Amino acid sequence: MYATLSQFKNYLGITDNSQDTLLTDFLNSAYNTINNYCGVKSFSLWDYEELIDERAIYSNNYWLFFYVKNKPVNTVKQINYESYEGAKGQDYLVVNDRELIFTKLPETNLGFLHIKYNSWFQSVPDDITLCEMMLASGLYQQHGNEGVSSYKLWDEQITFWGSSSEGELAYFKVKTLLDKYKNFSIPY
């Protein structure tokens, strides 16, 4: 989860512990919804391994270029199953969060380059946490009142479905917050 139970309860204005299990389930559901929409396993810092087809590695006389699937790349840890000690900014560059540019790389093995790197965030951005709480809040407000089509909490008002412009605006807000984090597959 990107938001803690305590953050979510504070967001809803709940002070007792009687609904903690239910609220945690809503946060988990919102967490999975966000990850599925954005095409990621998690936005938390994680190590990834990929096999890069040598046909996807471009080179000129000075540099080797290729893309990895997850962004933003923080550190390259292994190349071809061997520890990599190169320094970011000196031995390799990261451009547009996922394009790696190396000064030199070992030869590929059987037409593939194996790379292990870590990606995403040490501390998840606040807008992702807010989206998770907004989605979980919608689930909470609808729980037991499945016919409810909107809710108002403090100064926030969301309409869940229907043809109203308010519902479309709420959908647009969540979608807009998450669209910049959407991941996509790069075919090799």
Look at the block and give the residue holding tokens 């093995």. Answer: 109
Q: Which residues pair with 152 in a beta bridge?
A: 157
Q: Which CATH code is given to the segment(s) 5-41+123-179?
A: 1.10.3230
pTM of the model: 0.71
> What pLDDT score does 177 carry?
85
Q: Quick check: 57 and 113 in contact, CB under 8 A?
A: yes
> What pLDDT score does 156 carry?
67
Distance CA 89, CA 68 (A): 17
Distance CA 49, CA 70 (A): 10
The DSSP code sequence of 144-183 is: T-TT--EEEETTEEEE-SSS-HHHHHHHHHHHHHHHTT--
The boundaries of every CATH 1.10.3230 domain in the chain are 5-41+123-179
pLDDT values of the chain reduced to their tens digit, one per residue, 188 residues: 999 999 999 999 999 999 999 999 999 999 999 999 888 888 988 899 999 988 888 888 788 899 998 888 999 999 989 999 989 988 999 998 889 999 877 666 678 889 999 998 888 999 999 999 988 988 887 776 555 566 666 666 666 554 444 445 556 778 888 888 887 665 54
Cis peptide bond N-terminal to 125, omega within 30:
no
> What pLDDT score does 46 carry?
87
Map residue 102 onto helix, strand or coil: strand
> What pLDDT score does 164 carry?
47
Element (H, E) at 46: strand 46-53
Q: Any idea what DSSP says for residue 21?
A: H
> What pLDDT score does 47 carry?
92
> What pLDDT score does 18 carry?
93
